[in-house]
Structure 1
């Protein structure tokens, strides 16, 4: 802040006065850089001032909408697979595999590990004519027996695709771990170098954090757990027992997403005892966050995708936590240094160290944050949010718009009753703004009532960058529903 202003309030007043003067000339506003407009919106904490700023002109309102909710006037645009009616690949991959895809270098890959011949469906967004293709996968298992899988999960690190768990052809959960090179289409087994191996599971999630780690959460497994995998040393790390009481409630078919240093988990189906599969949508409608940065306890958000911290800190140990961390954090880190170094070795990345010492944060939805149970939580772990209600859902797409977290689609437990004043509530995309800890929403006109996943090509939320695949509710055709979210 400029030293000429004695307070934040004075600074906001000065900015607002400047806006009023600028609003007289629409042509002057258009000459300003988008970054300047974003800075002004960031500094205007008063909602009324932000809205007045946005209403200065139609063009500026569009800038405002795209910056805060990702879209101005978003619509659903169906995609038919890109082929002709006679093309065998026109329908895309089978609907049973719609959740198994991952983006790598601008192309969408959906591996299908069939018993006879494993294949990978490919949709290359870099091509002028976008259409599905199917490529055979070659087995390179080094004397290991190939085990076909279905309902597995995928994630990509350094242009390699990793697949974990899922069902065998006999319907049994597994903890098989494969690596697929999309350039050669060679599938290999991945063997852990230590004795830590996640338990068998289905309907779980696998996400990439940084540029050499995978994070595994939930699913139908023996116990609720949380794992980190380092592709550099081929080692799994299990979340410490002393922190497991703070894990998100056990769930499957949930939604997950990494944004910068944070992993977010939302929704899913509850896991009941003495059953191999979940039976109903979870009552938990809150958002859970795990921050892999080393300053989780001092309220700083790291939303950058720069992985230089991870690569440049391989010789750090737990004692090198952020100098701004609280004394309690430093004490806790010092206490755990010995056990962490024993688990990881003295040379390990900050991401591994923070995985072994940080705790989950629970971000209460605006509806449940008014519950008396909210006051029972540790303020460092439980956070209140404001704005729109997210709802209790499973099978929803969770994706990013810039630094925001978006949730769209899925099946809602209360049949969308919290949206009773809105027709076709499944069209509402819920958007979480971490910097303001607030939920907003925007209507995706024409969006089907379906469970789905999203693939975001460059994380900007601009037209043509968000591709959706899913299964439409009540549709017995077995056809995968596909399309784009585009601004009009």
Structure 2
């Protein structure tokens, strides 16, 4: 295949559509792609775009007016709908929803007052550490910690972004227990998937590994974790849904009131059609692991896999899976400033790679792929520093724009 690129280079292979070129590159393993990238600047840029979605990414602070009042604890609550980022704030008094339109310039964060549906006002619970997901023009908000009582809740709201009206959905059978620091993802045009979170019993916190699916049409919850191999319990983890699969990474595991530990660094995958879990196993000693018979749903990976993290962003880049930021326990003695690296998994090749983001700050974050202009994409990052003192917003841009 490398000879193919070399022989066609002089015959204007560069005129072929990028997707065709990327498909050709996918026939090569990572080492061959790396060697090929050294042959000329054009192939260097093409291969790095194929593997990382960028040639030379760098951090750039976002210039956004009106962001001074945005609480740092809300960084996980952003929902991206039709070019607009929405961040609902269920405050004690006068709840509101921030909106940020990326098609406009300059960027301005607008504070939209939330109105109550007539049966909701008397039962409203202000809370933080809830989970959000969007279906169409509706944001679903589940759970969190009540700001008045500090108790956990399992209240489910829907917020219409056209009217900014908040409606409490009547509790149904099999509704998950009250929790916070969990995740919620839309898995099609009418269902949501909830995973994990921190729960409370008799004054003690513990974590869940529960997977539940909510049908918005029937107002019905279904437990989906009755399989023989499931992820460890966790909270403050990261999830992403793409191509019919829910990906789960990292998080925290609570063992007692004061003892928290990071969860495993592996990627867990739930196939919503097959109703089964798989695990992309992260291990360093390949020779030792090759002597062990792994469970059939464990997939070994190779390369520069991520360390244990919580509060990281997880997002798709081309046909790859990317891990960015978060609070990390770095297990590699040779990796300096590990938070500046974005770790990228190729599920097809089962290999990890990493690329440094110049100037990337050390933050817990979420991230969204944003089309700012026709033909260009950047990653918008919303996060907080370790001490939760301030909110941080910025872009990961390609300094060698080859989109």
Q: Please say if residues 345 and 352 of structure 2, whose CA atoms lie closer than 8 Å, have aligned partners that are also in contact.
A: yes
Shift of residue 20 of structure 1?
2.2
- Are 1:286 and 2:266 matched, yes or no? yes
Equivalent residue for 1:254?
237
Q: Aligned residue for 1:443? A: 356
Instruction: Give the 3 Å change call, closer, same or farther, for CA 464–445 of structure 1 in structure 2.
Output: same
Structure 1 counterpart of 2:156: 177
What SS does structure 1 have at the residue aligned with 2:48?
helix
1:410 aligned onto 2:349: no
Query: Aligned equivalents of 1:115 and 1:153: distance in 2?
Result: 17
Partner of 1:162: 140
Give the secondary-structure state (helix, strand or coil) at the position aligned to 1:249.
coil
* Alpha-carbon offset, residue 238 of structure 1: 1.0
Q: CA deviation at 1:221?
A: 2.2
Matching residue within 193, 205, 209 for 2:187:
209
Give the TM-score normalised by the residue count of structure 2. Answer: 0.90
User: CA, structure 1 residues 48+254, in 2 after alignment: closer, same or farther (shift >3 Å)?
Assistant: closer
Q: Shift of the alpha carbon at 1:128?
A: 2.5
CA contact (8 A) 1:91 1:479 kept: no
Residues 366-421 of structure 1 show CA distances to partners (whole Å, capped at 9, x for unaligned) of 32766659936421x211011112101111111111221111111112xx241x33
Task: For residue 252 of structure 1, report the CA deviation from its aligned partner.
Answer: 0.5
Contact 1:120 1:136 in 2 (8 A): yes
Which segments of 5 or more consecutive residues in structure 1 lack a partner in the other structure? 1-14, 84-88, 295-357
What pairs with 1:58-457 in structure 2 (closer than 5 Å)? 58-80=41-63, 82-83=64-65, 89-91=66-68, 93-142=70-119, 145-169=123-147, 170-192=149-171, 194-221=172-199, 223-239=208-224, 241=226, 243=227, 245-272=228-255, 275=257, 279-294=259-274, 358-367=275-284, 375=292, 377-379=294-296, 381-413=297-329, 416-418=330-332, 420-457=333-370
Considering only CA atoms, is the larger Rg found in Structure 1 or Structure 2? 1
Distance across 2 between alignment mates of 1:369 and 1:145: 55
Gap change, CA 1:189 and 1:67, over 3 Å in 2: same
Deviation at 1:465, TM superposition (A): 2.6
> 1:240 offset after TM fit, Å?
5.1
Instruction: Give the distance between the partners of 1:256 and 1:465, measured in 2 at CA.
Output: 20
Q: Deviations over 1:91-133 (max 9, x none)?
A: 3511111111110111110100111100111111111221111
SS at match of 2:193: strand
SS, match of residue 64 in structure 1:
helix
**Cα separation, partners in 2 of 1:408 and 1:368, compared to 1, 3 Å:** farther
Shift of 1:71: 1.1
Q: Contact 1:92 / 1:480 at 8 angstroms: preserved in 2?
A: no
Q: Secondary structure at the match of 1:228?
A: strand
Task: Give the corresponding residue for 2:8.
Answer: 22
Alpha-carbon RMSD: 2.4
Query: What residue in structure 2 maps to residue 54 of structure 1?
Result: 37
> How far apart are 1:463 and its partner, in Å?
5.4
For the structure 1 residues 268 and 195, does the alpha-carbon distance in structure 2 shift closer, same or farther, using more than 3 Å as the test? same
